[in-house]
Every structure is written in C-alpha cells, then in structure tokens.
C-alpha cells in the first residue's frame, strides 16, 4: 500500500488533494471491539503490551478511514518514570496516590529515563512505524495540564490547588514547570527517534488561565519545548485545549507548525488571532456528533469551507471523542470531509 502523507503535507501548508482527517481520542470506548479488550485489560495493561497497544492504535485507522494514527497511550504514562504513582480510574481519569504539593515532593521527581522505564512505549512506536500506511502521531501532555493532575491528585473543575501554587509559590511552580518541560522534551525526542512521524502537545486544561497568566507562568516552558525540539524534522502540533481562544494571540512565537483550535473560535477567527505562521487543526464540537447526519455535515461543511481558504488545514474535533459517539457517523463524517474537500479542490485546478 502506498503511504498516505496528506496529513503531513497539510501540517506543512503544502498542497493536498483533499483535507486530511483524524480525531482526538479516536482509539476508544465508542468502539465495541475496544470495549471488549478493556473487559480484559486496563489502559495501563494495554500500554505495557506493545503488540496489543499497536493493534488498538490501528483499529480506528481501519474502521474510520482517517489519515493519521495516534499512539494508544495516556498523557500520564511518562510520569511513572519520574517516580509518581498513579492510576487511570474509570469514568474519573488520572488519580495520584500522593499529590505533589511541597518543594520536597518536587525535589523527589527523578529525571525521565525513557529507554529504561518506558521501553514498551518505544516498542509500540517501532511496531507501528513498520506497519502503518498513514503517519503516526505521538504525544505528550503539556506541563500545565500534567501539573494540574499531579497537584490536584485528580481531575479538577477550578484548579484551586494548582493556581494556589502558581500564584503563592512561583519559585516552586517554575521548578515544577522546568522539570515537566525536561520530561516532555526527552520523551518526545525518544518517540520521534523510534519512528513517530509527528507529535502533539496536549495542553487540555490551560484555557483555565487568562492570557496574562498563561504568558507569565506557562508560555516560557511551551516556548522552550518547541525551541529545543526544533531540529526534529516532523510536524509539531500544540493543542491549547478547551476554551483557549483568548490565548491564541500569545502563541505567535512558538516554533510549532500547527495549532489545534476548540469550537468556540471559528477557523477563520483562529487564523486571524494566530497570524500567518501556523497551520490550524480542528474544530467540530464533539457533541455535534449526537445530531442527525445532515446536521453534522452542515457543521462540517462550514468548517471545511473556512479551512480551505488557505493551505494548512487539518480536520479534527475541538476536543476528544466521547464514549457514546457512533462508529457509523464517524465513518460517514470522514468520507464526507474527504469527498467534499476533494470536489472543492478539484474545481479550483
């Protein structure tokens, strides 16, 4: 089979024959076959079996016809190597036994040893890079988002303890951001050395900050991560998560290729706030997938029409898929994005 590089081309703002599609959280519970595997193994057990993790990564590529795979893993996996014990609890998310709250807790975090502690993740990437006919996206959680789990100990609505460290003990906060920044850099570098073809940095919850606080407490680390990974010859995506529209103008200096948008800001407005540099990815509200197919298509059409106004557009959702999504609708949506965008592009040439 020939390699489908449409996703890479779009990330680099090159010409494409049709708009590439992938979905955040495309490997998951909406798929009965995945749910069956989950009856036997937990997420972390799947991640520790490279053949199985590779299989779960490939399932949505086969079933949905998407143009990229995303590694089956979780943003919490690398923190195991720092010495943090956690669990992924069903219907809750990451839960940390001993949250990180004092300077001693931060000092205890070890530097990441990807080859030593997370060889299963690299092995999964190696298997996939030999088998896939679409690019493999690997990922890491960004420092703010990981810190929010480490400090709160579990998913949070208002990030009270996280913000309390950020405002009250900025030296500690910066120390933690530095350590998590180092973790992300080494982790993603190892992914790409093992065969990853692009990466996404997930900052799912950083939209909880004002642009001024984001610029002061988080952006320096994001800027450093992309600067230190600049030499990697793969597309680099930053996803500033939900409700991040107000942060977009502050991102203009980071050395990423693509910025992920949530659905609260249109593609056109997102591009305006970001400036010329970046390709954009997004941004269908995942819950629009509960609507009838015609409604889903009309939302998608509006997004695609804006995406097609300039090179550098990847279709995705504005946040991850939810468990109740239907495979059949996702498949139809993927086909629709491909067919509709191909017809518009064909008319132009």
Which residue minimizes CB distance to ligand CP3? 204
- Per DSSP, helices labelled H in 169-228 are 170-193, 211-217, 219-228
Burial code of 54-93, b = ≥16 C-beta within 10 A, e = fewer?
A: bbbbbbbbebbebbbbbbbbbbbbbbebbebebeeeeeee
* Least distance to ligand CP3, CB of residue 196, Å: 13
Distance CA 11, CA 70 (A): 15
Nearer to ligand CP3, 124 or 221 (CB): 124
Identify any residues that bridge with 201 across adjacent strands, giving them in sequence order. Answer: 140, 238
User: How many other β-carbons are positioned within 10 Å of the β-carbon of residue 284?
Assistant: 23
Q: Which residues bind ligand CP3 (CB under 6 A)?
A: 24-29, 38, 43, 70, 72-75, 88, 90-94, 139, 155, 202, 204, 241, 320
Burial of 260 per CB tally in 10 Å (0-12, 13-18, 19+): buried
* Least distance to ligand CP3, CB of residue 98, Å: 18
CB 132 within 8 A of CB 71: no
Residue 97: C-alpha distances to residues 85, 87, 94, 152, 173 (Å): 6, 8, 10, 11, 20
Residues 6+ apart with CB under 8 A from 124: 47, 50, 53, 54, 57, 71, 72, 73
Nearer to ligand CP3, 89 or 309 (CB): 89
* Least distance to ligand CP3, CB of residue 29, Å: 5
* Least distance to ligand CP3, CB of residue 346, Å: 31
Nearer to ligand CP3, 205 or 340 (CB): 205
Nearer to ligand CP3, 72 or 336 (CB): 72
* Least distance to ligand CP3, CB of residue 107, Å: 25
Nearer to ligand CP3, 39 or 91 (CB): 91
* Least distance to ligand CP3, CB of residue 85, Å: 16
Q: Tokens for 12?
A: 């680099």
* Least distance to ligand CP3, CB of residue 13, Å: 24
Nearer to ligand CP3, 194 or 340 (CB): 194
Nearer to ligand CP3, 24 or 165 (CB): 24
Nearer to ligand CP3, 93 or 301 (CB): 93
- In this structure, the chain runs to a length of 349
* Least distance to ligand CP3, CB of residue 24, Å: 5
CB 96 within 8 A of CB 29: no
Residues 6+ apart with CB under 8 A from 56: 27, 34, 37, 46, 72
């Amino acid at each position: 089979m020939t390699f489908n590089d449409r996703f890479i081309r779009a990330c680099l703002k090159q010409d494409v024959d049709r708009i590439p599609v992938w979905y955040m959280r495309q490997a998951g519970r909406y798929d009965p076959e995945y749910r069956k595997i989950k009856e036997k193994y937990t997420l972390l057990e799947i991640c520790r079996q490279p053949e199985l993790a590779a299989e779960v990564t490939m399932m949505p590529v086969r079933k949905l016809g998407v143009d990229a795979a995303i590694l089956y893993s979780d943003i919490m996996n690398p923190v195991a190597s720092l010495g943090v014990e956690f669990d992924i609890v069903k219907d809750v998310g990451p839960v940390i036994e001993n949250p990180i709250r004092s300077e001693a807790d931060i000092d205890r975090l070890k530097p990441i040893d990807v080859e030593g502690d997370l060889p299963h993740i690299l092995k999964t990437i190696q298997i996939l890079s030999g088998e896939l006919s679409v690019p493999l996206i690997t990922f890491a959680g960004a420092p703010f988002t990981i810190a929010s789990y480490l400090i709160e100990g579990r998913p949070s609505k208002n990030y009270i303890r996280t913000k309390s460290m950020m405002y009250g003990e900025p030296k500690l906060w910066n120390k933690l951001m530095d350590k998590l920044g180092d973790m992300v850099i080494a982790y993603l570098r190892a992914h790409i050395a093992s065969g990853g073809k692009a990466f996404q940095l997930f900052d799912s919850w950083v939209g909880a900050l004002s642009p001024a606080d984001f610029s002061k407490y988080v952006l320096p680390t994001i800027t450093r991560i992309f600067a230190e990974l600049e030499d990697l010859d793969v597309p680099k995506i930053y996803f500033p998560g939900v409700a991040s529209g107000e942060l977009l103008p502050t991102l203009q200096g980071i050395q990423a290729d693509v910025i992920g948008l949530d659905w609260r800001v249109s593609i056109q407005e997102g591009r305006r706030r970001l400036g010329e540099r970046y390709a954009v990815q997004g941004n269908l509200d995942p819950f629009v997938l509960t609507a009838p197919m015609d409604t889903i298509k009309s939302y998608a059409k509006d997004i695609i029409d804006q995406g097609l106004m300039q090179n550098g557009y990847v279709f995705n959702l504005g946040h991850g898929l939810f468990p109740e999504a239907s495979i059949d609708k996702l498949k139809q949506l993927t086909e629709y994005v491909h067919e509709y965008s191909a017809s518009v592009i064909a008319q132009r040439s």
